[in-house]
Amino acid sequence: MAAPNPGLLAAMLKAERLSGVMRWKVNFTESGFKGEANLAAWTGLWLDTSGVKSIQDFVDLAANQTSNPDLVGHTLAELIEKMFSSDTSNDSICVAWSGWQDLIKSDPAAALEIAEALELGCQERSAVVLVCDSVGSFPGISELSQG
């Protein structure tokens, strides 16, 4: 499966059909993803964690990619609290997590721990995390079909 149907993500976000952390076997571009999130009036956060092999690598890279460099060296819980903090935005948040395959290969338990922590963060407010890319499997999280 390549790109998602245009407008499908925006429609699902508007209809509040998505919740928590889900695996979606589609290839988004950052601009395409952010455009879809914007159409739905959601904040779109793009995370490309290619090369990440540990929880701390994830935290440090995500801190920089989400414009929170002060969180480099902090804990996963602190990062997620800041990412999903209601004081940063009143909007709902959709995170596209791409490039997670290196983490799955090197430390599947760490990948699942991150997914579980993100799931808890999603429950705190209106947030969705899409583990995207058409290649690879991410054991322990639900699969989302194209429509």
Residues across the chain: 147
CA distance 68 to 120: 20
Contact 95, 118 (CB under 8 A): yes
Q: Within 10 A of 70 (CB to CB), how many other CB atoms are there?
A: 10
Query: What are the structural domain ranges in the chain?
Result: 8-136
The CA-atom distances, in angstroms, between 106 and each of 79, 80, 93, 109 are 21, 22, 28, 9
CATH superfamily entry for domain 8-136: Barstar-like (3.30.370.10)
* pLDDT bucket at 47, cuts 50 / 70 / 90: very high
Which pLDDT does position 104 carry in this prediction?
97
Q: SS3 for 146?
A: coil
The region of weakest confidence among 33-47, 61-75, 86-100, 123-137 is 86-100
User: With the CA atoms of 61, 67, 73 and 74 taken in that order, what torsion angle do they form, in degrees rounded to the nearest 10?
Assistant: -110
Give the whole-number percent of the chain exceeding pLDDT 70: 93
pLDDT digits (tens, 9 = 90+) for 74-91: 999 999 999 988 665 567
Which pLDDT does position 91 carry in this prediction?
78
